[in-house]
Amino acid sequence: MTTTPVDVAVERVRGVYGRWRRDTPISEMRADWDSLFPAPAQDVVLRADSAAGVEVLWVIAPPAAAAQESAPPRVLLYFHGGGYKLGSVTSHRDLMARIGAAAHCRVLGVNYRLAPEAHFPAPVHDALAVYEWLIAAGVPPAQIAVGGDSAGGGLAAALLLSLRDRGGALPAAAVLLSAWTDLTAQGESYTTRAEADPIHQRAMILATARQYLGPHGDACNPLASPLFGDLAGLPPLLLQVGDRETGLDDSVRFAAKARAAGVRADLEVYEDMIHVFQQFAADIPQARLAIAAIGRFLYGIWGEPTAKGDASMLGIAC
């Protein structure tokens, strides 16, 4: 039987999961998860920063730096996945660098608060704080896109809903990768893809949701499960998801509901792909194709730079 790049990625993930026990400290689990993914290429600029008291990381690939020497910076505000308890800007450095290179934009990764130390809606508050900090630093909303994968994709969608409901300026677009938009896990794919998905099953998803929500959180709150929100008025969306995912319907249903509300929602379902396959771009060709598609989507939204200016004036030069 032929071993595929996806098989290799699955075994790497299982190798990490397999070391964990009920008494494994959360700090050890997070360190294991961070070490699962590679560092970006050496020519990528990484700079830690603080945004409204939230830890963030600037990730600038050479194409992004060169593209914006004579134009206001375009920034992708990115929220990592990990079930609201794992993941960090460290685990997602390579993915953020690859997306930034494809879209010729800077990426600002956010270390939002995680469970069990913090519960819903703490990550939403952190997302809002960083977005508002970025605007206060001088980046126009039209030059900002938001994105995220898995829980981070759900958080990016929740940020959009929160901004719209507050009457705040929305970003230009959003990129949602295997987004977790329904913490109740009601989609049919949790059953139809149960045998195909080698990593995530409904019982695990529901347990993770309970940990994030804490004793008082409501899984039907749109800021926890954006699928249950009114999606009217959101900016253009790109959703990518693997066909083998139990959470496939979280993206399919979200895209359909957004379209019904008059929102542009481009849905890309990748055959035989697993949850957030884009993180394994060094090994999986389809992941590189998906990242290239993200770049085309964002560049299509932003268009060619027209305004001249010095990015360092914004106080976020890296």
* Residues forming the active site: 150, 245, 275
With b for 16 or more beta-carbon neighbours within 10 A and e for fewer, the 233-249 pattern comes to ebbbbbbbbbebbbbbb
Q: Which helix (H) or strand (E) holds 165?
A: helix 151-166
Residue at token pair 């071993």: 3
125's tokens:
């508050």
How far is Cα 81 from Cα 16, in angstroms, rounded to an integer? 16
Angle at 221 between CA 215 and CA 223, to 5 degrees: 105
